[in-house]
Structure 1
Amino acid sequence: MILTVTPNPSLDRSYEVLALKRGEVIRAETERTDPGGKGVNVSRAVAAAGWRTLAVLPLGGAPGALVAELLDAQGIEVAPVPIAGATRSNIALAESDGVLTKINAPGPDLSAAEQELLLETVRAQSRDADWIACCGSLPGGLAPSWYADVVMRAHAGGARIALDTSGRALLEALRARPDVVKPNAEELARAVGRPLATVGDALKAAEELRTLGAGAVLASLGADGQLLVEETGAWFGRARVTTVRSNVGAGDSSLAGFLVAGGTGPEALASAVAHGAAAVQLPGSMMPTPADLDPAAVTVTAEIPLDRELREPAS
Structure 2
Amino acid sequence: MSGFDSNPFAEPAIDNPFNDPSVTQATSSKVEPVDQFNPFPAHPPDSLATHTTPAPPPPYQPAVLQPSSEPSPQATAAVAQANLLRQQEELERKAAELDRREQEIQSRGPTGKENNWPPLPKSFPIKPCFYQDFSEEIPPEYQRVCKMIYYLWMFNCVTLFLNMLACLAFFTAESTAGVDFGLSILWLILFAPCSFLCWYRPVYKAFRTDSSFSFFFFFFVFFCQVVIFIIQTVGIPKWGNSGWISAFTIIGTNKAVGGIMIMVAILFTICAVLSIILLKMVHSMYRRTGASFHKAQQEFSQGVFTNKTFQTAAAGAASSAAQGAFQGN
Task: Please confirm whether the aligned pair reaches a TM-score higher than 0.5, indicating the same fold.
Answer: no
Indicate the TM-score class for this superposition, using the shorter chain for normalisation. under 0.3
Looking at both structures, which has the greater relative contact order when contacts are Cα pairs under 8 Å and sequence separation is at least 6? 1
TM-score (norm 1): 0.20
Give the number of the structure whose alpha-carbon radius of gyration is greater: 2
Structure having the higher strand fraction is 1
Query: Which protein is richer in helix relative to its size?
Result: 2
